[in-house]
Chain A
Amino acid sequence: MDNFNNSLNTSVTVVDKCLIVTLPNDITDDDIKISSSSILARASRSYIKGTILDFSMVYVLDSYSFKALQKVSRAILLMGVMVVWIGLGPGVVSSLMDLNVDVSHIKTAVDLEQGLKMILNSGNSRGKG
């Protein structure tokens, strides 16, 4: 029952063959742990062209959560699905810069529209679209 409630925190929807994961504003380690497996399971479906992680509700992100999300992104990438992070706020970005984390391999977009465009325009789909 607990698990069910926790996983409700993050919304996972599919729009235009893109998996959109909206992260809650008070993101916890448990949230990520629980939602990551369900995100991965859904991203592995053949018709998914890309995954969008929406940070527009997130105001605070610590280095642990960041690393956990980075791992999730890498895992999705391993399955050949593109991952785009969107809606990172100025405060979150500033704090990530202060934490001096490596962000070079992360694909980002300003908002959902741009993120969807990025995925739909990329030729990196798995052919079955």
Chain B
Amino acid sequence: MEDIVQNFQEADTMVKMEILSQIPTTVMAVDKELRITYMNHAGLKAIGKKREDILGKKCYDIWNSLHCNTNECCMHKVIDGGKTYSARNEIMIGDLKKPVEYHMVPLRNENGNVIGGLEFFVDITERVHYEERLKEQSNTIREMSTPTIELWDGVLVLPVVGVVDSMRAQHMMDSMLNKISETHSKVIIMDIQGVAAVDTAVANHLIKITRATKLMGCECILSGITPAVAQTIIQLGINMDNIKTKSTLSDALSEAFTMLDLEVKNKRE
């Protein structure tokens, strides 16, 4: 009977070891001195070494990650604190850098004392790649959404389409201010024809932008104010007296020409 139990337990241990070995992510165990005591197949495959070559070696010699030998090292935190940690890291395999996410769990003996740590690596190369692409694309969208165009010598136009939130208002302001200092323009026209609704927040952003351009010595004309928008502004009680406003872009442009002492003439007359 005892034999059967013994066999059964051995078989059970074998199955567990096999499961651990076949997990497709790296699993590694280290003792308190950061010597490697176990690594599964996936880990060995990732670094291209045999089990005999790495057992007993220091883990920082094998992985050579950004956190190795620094205060960031989660293994130190785990062994000292006995808590679980997760972090993002970059490991070096040969000359190849690999972004990984690693999770650390303390290993305890029967008395509950920490004797080492267990480490799981997840390769996040794909994810980092996607994140970078997403960042790039949102940058592109942001630049597309705030085009400041030089319409005439000394006249800039910024057409605004869509929703104006504080983030976008900030980008609009940055784009306008940079363009003004680049071109030394005297007038900037902000066309809000494409802005569906103007509420107090949007109006405040617009007022702030006009004040900023004024401070740079560039007069701001707000154009494209539709009857509906005009009505809302009045009903909300927003004071826009200090801002030059026009209903259409062409009105604003002719106003800009007046300010620059320019005149548009019909040649035949």
Interface residues in chain A, defined as those with a beta carbon under 8 Å from any beta carbon in chain B: 85-86, 88-90, 93-94, 96-97, 103-104, 106, 108-111, 114-115
**CB < 8 Å neighbour of B212 from A94, A106, A111:** A94
Please determine whether B217 and A110 come into contact, CB atoms closer than 8 angstroms: yes
Bound-complex Cα distance A93 to B180 (A): 12
Chain B: minimal CB distance from A122 (Å)? 15
Give bound CA distance, A88 to B178, whole Å: 11
Chain B residues contacting A97 (CB-CB under 8 Å) are 173, 208, 211-212, 215
Q: Is B28 an interface residue (CB 8 A)?
A: no
Q: Which of B58-66, B99-107, B181-189 contacts A (4 or more CB under 8 A)?
A: B181-189
Partner of A88, one of B184, B208, B217: B217
A110 to B218, CA, bound (A): 6
What are 15 of the A-B contact pairs (CB < 8 Å)? A86-B217, A89-B181, A90-B174, A90-B181, A93-B177, A93-B215, A93-B216, A96-B212, A96-B215, A97-B211, A103-B215, A108-B215, A108-B217, A110-B218, A115-B217
Please count how many residues in chain B sit with their CB below 8 Å of the partner chain's CB atoms: 18
Question: B174–A110 contact, CB under 8 A?
Answer: no
Asked whether B242 lies within 8 Å of A93 as measured between CB atoms, the reply is no
Chain B facing A: main interface SS: helix
Q: How far is the CB of B152 from chain A (nearest CB, A)?
A: 15
The reply to whether A88 and B211 contact each other, CB–CB distance below 8 Å, is no
Q: Please, how many angstroms separate the alpha-carbon atoms of A116 and B218 in the complex? A: 15
User: A93 — which chain B residues lie within 8 A by C-beta?
Assistant: 177, 212, 215-216
The answer to whether B186 touches A110, judged by C-beta atoms less than 8 angstroms apart, is yes
B208-232 with Cβ < 8 A to chain A:
208, 211-212, 214-218
For chain B, residues 159 to 214, give those with C-beta under 8 angstroms from any C-beta of chain A: 173-174, 177-178, 180-181, 184-186, 208, 211-212, 214
Q: For the complex, what is the distance from the CA of A93 to the CA of B188, rounded to whole Å? A: 16
Residues from chain B with Cβ under 8 Å of A86 in the complex:
217
Query: In the complex, which of the residues B181, B212, B214, B215 has the most CB atoms of chain A within 10 Å of its own CB atom?
Result: B215
With contacts A93-B215, A97-B173 known, what are 9 further pairs, Cβ within 8 A? Answer: A85-B217, A93-B177, A97-B208, A97-B211, A103-B214, A103-B215, A110-B180, A110-B181, A110-B184
Residues of chain B with a CB closer than 8 A to A88's CB: 215-217
| A100 closest partner in B (C-beta) | B208
Chain B: minimal CB distance from A63 (Å): 14
The smallest C-beta distance from A92 to any residue of chain B, in angstroms, reads 8
Q: How far is the CA of A109 from the CA of B186 in the complex (A)?
A: 8
Across the interface, which residues of B come within 8 angstroms of A103, CB to CB? 211, 214-215
Asked if A110 and B185 make an inter-chain contact with CB atoms under 8 angstroms apart, the answer reads yes
